[in-house]
Amino acid sequence: MNICVYQIRAVADGAEAEISIEISNGGAETQHIKGKVSAAMLSDLALPASLNVPLPLDRNRCETVLRCMKLYAAIKKGIHLLGYAKNTPKSLQNKLKMKGYPADIAEEAVAYLVEKGYIRESDDAQIFAENLANRKLYGENRIRKEMFAKGFSSDVIRETMELLDTDFAEICAERIEKMGGLSLFKTLETKNKTVAALLRYGFSYEDIREAKDLL
Question: Mean pLDDT for the chain?
Answer: 93
Question: Cα(143)–Cα(149) distance, rounded to whole angstroms?
Answer: 10
Residue 71 has pLDDT above 80, yes or no: yes
Residue 150 has pLDDT above 70, yes or no: yes
DSSP-derived 3-state class of residue 136: coil
Helix (H) or strand (E) holding 147, with range, is helix 140-150
With cut-offs at 50, 70 and 90, classify the pLDDT of residue 30: confident
Question: Mean pLDDT throughout 115-140?
Answer: 93
DSSP-derived 3-state class of residue 52: coil
Helix (H) or strand (E) holding 143, with range, is helix 140-150
Residues near 135 by beta carbon (within 8 Å), at least 6 away in sequence: none
The torsion defined by the Cα of 109, 114, 119 and 123, in degrees rounded to 10, comes to: 160
pLDDT tens, residue by residue, 162-206:
999 999 999 999 999 999 999 999 999 999 999 999 999 999 999
Residue 28 has pLDDT above 90, yes or no: no
pLDDT at 85: 86
Residue 101 has pLDDT above 70, yes or no: yes
Residue 25 has pLDDT above 90, yes or no: no
Q: Tell me, what amino acid is at 56?
A: P
Question: Cα(53)–Cα(8) distance, rounded to whole angstroms?
Answer: 11
With cut-offs at 50, 70 and 90, classify the pLDDT of residue 51: confident
pLDDT at 27: 66
DSSP letters, 155-179, are HHHHHHHHH----HHHHHHHHHHHH
| Residue of 146, 208, 197 whose CA lies nearest to 171 | 208
pLDDT at 109: 97
With cut-offs at 50, 70 and 90, classify the pLDDT of residue 112: very high
Find the helix packing angle between 140-150 and 121-134, rounded to 10°.
140
Give the range among 23-37, 66-80, 103-117 with minimum mean pLDDT: 23-37
The dihedral sign for the CA sequence 103, 106, 109, 115: negative
CA 24 from centroid of its chain's CA atoms: 39
